[in-house]
Amino acid sequence: VWAQRKRDLGRTAAMEWLRECRAVYAELVALLAPAGVYEAPARTSTQVRDIAATHAEGGEQS
């Protein structure tokens, strides 16, 4: 039981870390793109699905 719980906690932490990385990346793109320094790549279908899921949960995503 503990091993399963520990694994679930690890997954939760990893998902939270990934959300933080995505948020920082989105902020950087928002800052750099208007200045012409960076052009964001086209979104993949996975990114579009993730963004839709985030909005459905009431979160923010760009």
CB of 54 closer than 8 Å to CB of 61:
yes
Domain ranges of the chain: 2-56
| Per-residue confidence (pLDDT) for residue 57, from 0 to 100 | 74
DSSP-based helix, strand, coil % in the chain, nearest 5: 70, 0, 30
| Per-residue confidence (pLDDT) for residue 60, from 0 to 100 | 55
pTM of the model: 0.49
Mean predicted lDDT score pLDDT of the chain: 79
Segments of the chain scoring below 50 in pLDDT: 61-62
